[in-house]
Copies of this chain bind each other. A is one copy, B any other.
């Protein structure tokens, strides 16, 4: 690969001059500017960003850690983050933690070694101290401690809306399938809201806590099968993700229960999938794109040492489709 020296040599000028045209500083005549540009073209010169990063102490790299990009929720999130990073002239370094603490820690260290401008955590299994000593960080729907900014949506309201919809539609016994409540996720607020609503209205209910293992989808089916085996009279299900909801629909169909006549189902997230499904899924929409925007913005601000809001919570929206 050609270096700035090669360009200078070919154009018959000094490297300082080339650098000057490259960075638009000092005086440069139109003549040399053109000459330099044409030499860069001829040599297929691309300034070495690695050298620049070293000098500037800025990599323009944003690290993104998610449990698995193959999961629709995270793939859509990733897509939006990439979009806003590109707008900023930054690049996205992608990592799947598989919720494996070893891999996650490894990735965080790797990112520190690569001097990323910041990390967006869509996953976390580790203790707080690992996250400190990072230029920038923001978590996604996860509150780790007061010093780490996060963006999330109004999980409590989402849980309330979903539960209320099922109650209003006349459900008598409602199941709620959620993730592992031991993990300190903000998503657990949905379960809080579910509990509150269901008690307020005196509705019979059951809560199923899954391992939230994103990767072994067969497990979901087993959970749902068990649910209907143990509680044949369930006529409403509020699942904490659209994928789980899809499995509920699948199992119901196998069991011969009609949706929404016999069982009503509400998902969560409103991933693209939700609208492709037949029947189309009723769900609670998170403003994913806007959340991604705020996350990237937070990293940018931290990199530029501007002040950042420690927490951003965005509104959710109930999307009624065919499963209720």
Contacts of A94 in B (CB 8 A): 64, 78, 82, 92-94
A54 to B54, CA, bound (A): 8
- Give A86 to B51 CA distance when docked, in angstroms: 24
**Nearest B-chain residue to A77, judged by Cβ:** B70
Q: Is the CB of A49 within 8 A of B113?
A: yes
Contact B48 A113, beta carbon cutoff 8 Å: yes
Smallest CB gap from A89: residue in B: B110
A contact residues, range: 35 or more
Interface presence of A247 (CB below 8 A): yes
Bound CA span A261–B40, Å: 64
List the B side residues contacting A249 at CB < 8 Å: 278
Copies in the complex: 2
Greatest chain B CB density within 10 A among A50, A109, A113 is at: A50
Tell me if A114 counts as interface (CB < 8 A to partner B): yes
A83 at the interface (CB under 8 A from B): yes
A288 to B, closest residue via Cβ? B70
Which residues in B have their C-beta under 8 angstroms from that of A71? Answer: 75
B46-A112 in contact (CB<8A):
yes
Which of A12-20, A23-31, A269-277, A306-314 interfaces with chain B?
A269-277
Q: Min CB distance, A219 to chain B, in Å? A: 13
Write the nearest CB–CB distance from A121 to chain B, whole angstroms. 16
Contacts A70-B76, A86-B95 given; 7 further ones with Cβ under 8 A?
A44-B133, A48-B113, A83-B96, A86-B103, A92-B94, A250-B276, A253-B278
| Chain A residues packing against B (C-beta within 8 Å) | 1, 44, 46-51, 53-54, 59, 64, 68-72, 75-76, 78-79, 82-83, 86, 91-96, 103, 109-110, 112-115, 133, 217, 243, 246-247, 249-250, 253, 272-273, 275-280
